[in-house]
Amino acid sequence: MSQIIKDRKIKFALIGCGRISARHFEAVYGDEAAGIPANADAEFVDICDIDQNALETASNKFNIRGYRDYREMLSKTAADVVAVCTPNGLHYEMGMAVAAHKKHVLMEKPFCADLMQADNLIASARDNRLHTFAVLQVRYNNTIQLLKKLLCENKLGKIYSAAVCVRWLRPQKYFTGWRGTKELDCGTALNQGIHYADILQWLLGPIKRVVAQSATIAHTIELEDQISSLIEFKSGVQATFEFSVNTFPKNKECSLYISGEKGSVEISGDAMNKIEYFEVEGSERPDISVRDGNTYAGGLYKGSCPNHPFIYNDVVRVLKTGDVNYINGDQARKSLELILTMYKSAAEKKFIEFI
């Protein structure tokens, strides 16, 4: 793949200085109040945003060179990796430009808006001997890591069923600007629920078929605000996926329940971040720390846990050692395919078989 970088920091650039960019800056510069250390092997060298105020705020705070045009930035930057943190409908265009300029791609979720785009971007990066890194940071929740270990060690035995339930709130005012539009948001479940669809497929393996229903009930938007799906895995496991941003008056839960012949575990909390139920043959309930989900609108609603430092640690490790153990575009494609198949099933009102 790419040349290993041993004798200096990994250089990052970033496109899009909106809300999620704070998590990327935090992953590099740290946050003492939150107990997040700085990454001594990483630095930002360039950032870009079309919003002058957002650009100047980030540029002045972190003393990073700023650009208004991402194409100009890509033509001049010495970055090794470019993080794309823009509205979802722009991911493909910008990711392809990053790869064309021979920079590794660090893509916020969703990786792209459709599978053809994802395949083209992955192929372009591979042709240029570049990595595609995907931000699917919920995998790093302590609770999810615990479940993955239990499954890998067969501690739950044969898995019978699973259920994901995301009952969140997003008020109408959240859907301003690009949010809620088909062109730039591309799907509410694609934008927010994809983290938890990713956890299902990462833990339980290849999917056989999917059936789903979706609706727009509580918001004036071009997209769904709730979706429910039955997912059958090739192993025979049946799982349900319920995602809603209509929960009154605030976020209620983000949970995952897995039932097996030797045990049952439920991970819950506001972001799959605490153990709700643990009964596993021969195992005591573990005592693990809880990381709170990101808080927005003064606590009115929350998102996933702030695990971006783990993503940046992976990028640094891969580029400095050549390690291949990281969340790449091929892995991100699987969760993208799952959400898009739910959409297809809901539109066609039938089961959709996976190849």
Residue 84: per-residue pLDDT = 98
Listed in order, strand segments (DSSP E) in 168-262 are: 207-215, 226-233, 238-244, 253-260
**Helix or strand run (H / E) with residue 46:** strand 42-48
What is the full per-residue pLDDT of the chain (355 aa) written as tens digits? 578 999 999 999 999 999 999 999 999 999 998 889 999 999 999 999 999 999 999 999 999 999 999 999 999 999 999 999 999 999 999 999 999 999 999 999 999 999 999 999 999 999 999 999 999 999 999 999 999 999 999 999 999 999 999 999 999 999 999 999 999 999 999 999 999 999 999 999 999 999 999 999 999 999 999 999 999 999 999 999 999 999 999 899 999 999 999 999 999 998 899 999 999 999 999 988 776 766 665 666 666 777 999 999 999 999 999 999 999 999 999 999 999 999 999 999 999 999 7
Q: Is 264 helix (H, G, I), strand (E, B) or coil?
A: strand
Q: How many CA atoms lie within 13 A of 296 on its CB side?
A: 19
> Do residues 105 and 159 share a domain?
no
> Do residues 166 and 66 share a domain?
no
> Do residues 128 and 183 share a domain?
no
Residue 355: per-residue pLDDT = 77
- Counting beta carbons within 10 angstroms of the beta carbon of residue 229, is it exposed (0 to 12), middle (13 to 18) or buried (19 or more)? buried
- DSSP H helices, 238-328, are 308-321
Domain of 232, in residue numbers = 138-304+335-353
Query: Which domain-ending residue is among 81, 104, 134?
Result: 134
> Do residues 22 and 94 share a domain?
yes
> Do residues 44 and 184 share a domain?
no
Domain count, the chain: 2
Measure the CA angle with vertex 74, ends 138 and 66; round to 5°: 80
Residue 42: per-residue pLDDT = 98
> Do residues 204 and 167 share a domain?
yes
253 assigned to some structural domain:
yes
The CATH number linked to 224 is 3.30.360.10
Residue 306: per-residue pLDDT = 79
